[in-house]
Amino acid sequence: MATMPQQSQDYQTPSKPSLSLTHSYSRSSPAANYEGATTFAPYTPTTPSGSGSQFMSPPDQKYNAPGSQRNISNTPLGLADIRPRADSGMSDGVPGSTAFDLANVQPGTSNYLAPWALYAFDWCKWPPQGNGAGKLAVGSYLEDGHNFIQILDTQMVPTPNDVYQPGTPKFNLEFSKVAEATHSYPVTRLLWEPPSSQKQSTDLLATSGDHLRLWSLPSESPVSQSNSINRQGRDPGVTKLTPLALLSNSKTPDHTAPLTSLDWNTVSPSLIITSSIDTTCTIWDIPSLTAKTQLIAHDKEVYDVRFCANSVDVFVSCGQDGSVRMFDLRSLEHSTIIYEPTGKDDRDANGGRISPTLAQQTMSNPPPLLRLATSPHDTHLLATFAQDSNVIRILDVRHPGQALLELRGHGGALNSIEWSPLKRGVLASGGDDCQVLLWDVYNNNHSLGGGPAANGAGQPDSTRSPFASWQCDYEVGNLAWVPHLSSDQGEWLGVSAGRGLWGVKTCGRSGV
């Protein structure tokens, strides 16, 4: 693969903001049935949930007590706690396959096969042109300083009559590579610019990793390289992404703390927020390429950050300390602890209490929270999961302290969660058990207890089970919903696992 010439001299380094060192915390809250080989099926549990011991994490020695001098690690990778379990490389395949076998693997229906393991990817949220499903961007996961970004275009292709069978999708996704770039170290998150009424489309995307980087997709692209079973294309030389800016707070950009995630504000697209292993979150002003605010958000590494729906000022973060915290840019001297582990969370796989000794160990070393997802429909709802955990916790910021719901159904550690942009309360999740599960947090029919709480108190069951599932051949690393399609094409979900990217069709919510 051709590499992008080094253009670091063209990058612009923003001015360094003042660092907010004073910060206090409070616990008060601020004011379907599915079809086909590449479709979901009704969920049937096949594996037991994990034991309480799997949520333990070793003592963290990277940071001293708050207020003392900290020796922050500036290793260029530092991603061990958030990387996907699917470290599938060029030679990884299904059990029993060899490197020679995989070298000749052809992409299947609604499937794209990359030359390297995938992790970060995002589907462009702008309305697609023509018969397409829009563009998407994917990032490689190679544990060195030479990684890649690819831009793919998609088309909805009718299933040929001689291939179509009742119960299978009438359309398939066809992927074509249109642009690429090299990237230093793995991309931890990648996002397209959010839709805006001021223009028709976007060519701008952002990546986090060693730095926050901005990229532009050239408007004139050569003939695309197809990657589908429906047509075999040639590689005419793919367009290179244009690097626009490298944003760093460090005076020595070669020795900066890695960024673990980013989020782009959908209300005010001029704002991007990043999280870092140096315990900080930074809000960037994109037009001026400057850092507006930087604050110490957690006591340890911050692993994810998200703006709350329909808000310019409010965001949430999670990290190594095991807590979820909410901040308001209008009042950064205070924050709200939305969730942190308590003794009530310490139950074994069968719902029983674990030993007091183990509970005390869990409290002193709570499991890190790796990822967050804020609901696009409900400003008060968010989802999170812990390291090596198969349980998703739904939190309500209006009632901080305890989880509103627990979603149990995965048989392995979780890697990704994403709310549906089209259906309120529907959440997708993927994990090491090679499953993608769909959940409806508002549908009590999918509570594990099937009705009132087991203690007879008459309270609704706070545990949900999934209503649909899709089985992959590889550990699922990431998910992204396809935002805009016509009603006859249905709703689709993008799934990355190993070296592959799949488009999986849904056709409605169970019970609706």
What are phi and psi for residue 122, nearest 5 degrees? -150, 140
* CA-to-CA dists, residue 387 to 355, 367, 370, angstroms: 21, 6, 6
Cβ pair 493, 502 in contact under 8 A: no
* pLDDT reported for residue 246: 95
pTM of the predicted structure, to 2 decimals: 0.75
* pLDDT reported for residue 140: 96
Of 249, 261, 255, 295, give the one whose Cα is nearest residue 79: 261
- Identify the residue whose tokens are 């590889």: 474
* pLDDT reported for residue 4: 36
**DSSP per-residue codes, 448-467:** TTSSB-TTSS-PBPSEE--S
Q: The tokens of 317 are what? A: 């973060």
* pLDDT reported for residue 361: 53
265 SS3 class: coil
Q: Compute the distance between CA of residue 81 and CA of residue 319 in angstroms, rounded to an integer.
A: 10
Q: The tokens of 159 are what? A: 């299933």
* pLDDT reported for residue 20: 44
* pLDDT reported for residue 486: 61
Q: The tokens of 20 are what? A: 């907010």
Burial of 433 (0-12, 13-18, 19+ CB in 10 A): buried
Q: How many residues does the chain have?
A: 512
* pLDDT reported for residue 33: 34
What are phi and psi for residue 402, nearest 5 degrees? -125, 155
322 Rama class: left (phi>0) / alpha (psi -120 to 50) / beta: left
The residues pairing with 376 across neighbouring beta strands, listed in sequence order, are none
Cβ pair 511, 443 in contact under 8 A: yes
Euclidean distance between the first and final Cα of the chain, in Å? 47
Q: Compute the distance between CA of residue 322 and CA of residue 184 in angstroms, rounded to an integer.
A: 29
Q: Compute the distance between CA of residue 282 and CA of residue 292 in angstroms, rounded to an integer.
A: 8
* pLDDT reported for residue 438: 96
Structural domains of the chain, ranges and CATH numbers in brackets: 20-62+72-506 (2.130.10.10)
**DSSP per-residue codes, 132-198:** ----EEEEE--SSS-EEEEEEEEEEEEPPTTT--TTS-SEEEEEEEEEEEEESS--SEEEEPPP-TT
Q: pLDDT of the chain along its 512 residues, tens only?
A: 333 333 433 444 444 444 444 444 444 333 333 333 466 666 666 543 433 333 333 333 333 333 333 333 333 333 433 333 333 333 333 333 222 233 334 455 688 999 999 999 999 998 887 777 889 999 999 988 899 999 999 988 887 777 777 777 777 888 999 999 999 899 999 999 999 878 878 899 999 999 999 999 998 655 445 554 444 444 456 899 999 999 987 777 667 899 999 999 999 999 999 999 999 999 999 999 999 999 999 999 999 999 999 999 999 999 999 999 999 999 988 899 999 976 445 444 444 444 544 545 555 789 999 999 999 999 999 999 999 999 999 999 999 998 999 999 999 999 999 999 989 999 999 999 999 999 999 987 766 544 333 333 334 568 888 999 999 999 999 999 988 766 666 788 999 999 999 999 875 554 33
Q: What is the dihedral of CA 368, 374, 379, 380, to 10 degrees?
A: -30
Of 318, 431, 331, give the one whose Cα is nearest residue 383: 318
